[in-house]
Amino acid sequence: MRETDRLRVAVAAPLSEENCALIRELEPRIDLVVDPSLLPPMRWPADFAGDPAWRRTPRQRSAYEAALDSADALYGIPDVDPSALARTVRANGRLRWVHTMAAGGGSQVKAAGLGPEELDRVAFTTSAGVHGQPLAEFAVFGVLAGAKDLPRLGRQQRAHEWSGRWTMRQVSEQTVLVLGLGGIGRVVAAKLWALGARVIGTSRKDVSLPGVAEVVRPDRLAEVAPTVDAVVNTLPGTAATEHLLDKRFFDALRPGATLVNVGRGNVVDETALLDALDSGRVGFAALDVFETEPLPAHSPLWDHDHVLISPHTAALNTAEDRLIAELFAANATRLLDGRALLNRVDTVEFY
């Protein structure tokens, strides 16, 4: 990226006054263009889409787009809408950088349908890493819930049934497969290793990480599946990862294995997963993401006794807005100093 003296940033997503001040403090060379009246009110922390009932007036729409079209960089994808992103890129020839609020913002960039020249002109970055700790905690929760047979405990409690005792599984005696060793996967692996689990990770690169006993390439998943007690997906949704966990993989799993998904929903073939749940090949699934969101009311996953559904909320915590603001400021410094950006989107595979 080229070195510049100042960076004009249009705030395209809700941003509190406190975090505006934080960004300016961390990188004084930023000129923030922000008008809270042009942005939807948040319903909860990190609600960057805002209240869906809120609408701009025509005058507000013109003012919002004028601000976007005057900037060198955008804080957020406008209205979390790929078509609005495409409009802005094409209307604003000076735009050089867009930061997405999501860890998986590459999918939003892909959906904008930008051409090669546009993708070359504008750098896109994501908020990957910001969500690592809360997602890792949910992953550990899911692995523990599977080991301790949460579905059976729930059924028996609802029935007021005091059964005979049974032996629960110990995470410290389990092998857990962590799909993806990026910002989220590394934290998941570290927490599971701290509990005594043997961790196998997947990566397309040759990596060595503390707490990860073995690293395998994705094409070896079916080979290692019979050796694992639990699987945690942290992978983004790309053409290469779509339905990576398919019938072949589930058929190879050790019976009763736990599945946790905190990556993207389309990594899991949900039809194959349901078959695996019905057959007992998967004993428990803790799912925060799904192929279609919101999860359709008719999905059999809602009523399956061995499934725990979280409405894509496992990543959310009260610190998220501040952490994204800090990450943005750090990347702005890199941009202004002519250094490589963190979390830059690969515009071939869009992750």
- b/e 91-101 (16+ beta carbons within 10 angstroms → b): ebeebbbbbbb
Annotation says 312 is catalytic? yes
Annotation says 3 is catalytic? no
Catalytic residue among 121, 254, 304, 312: 312
Catalytic residue among 131, 264, 281, 306: 264
β-pair type (175-179, 73-75)? unpaired
Provide DSSP, 60-83: HHHHHHHHHTT-SEEES-GGG-HH
Provide the β-strand partners of residue 300. none
Catalytic residue among 173, 223, 293, 349: 293
Provide DSSP, 114-179: --HHHHHHSEEE--TTTTHHHHHHHHHHHHHHHHTTHHHHHHHHHTT------PPP-GGG-EEEEE
Annotation says 94 is catalytic? no
Contact by Cβ (8 Å): 140, 163: no
Spatial distance between the Cα atoms of 1 and 334, rounded to a whole number of angstroms: 9
List residues with catalytic annotation.
Answer: 264, 293, 312
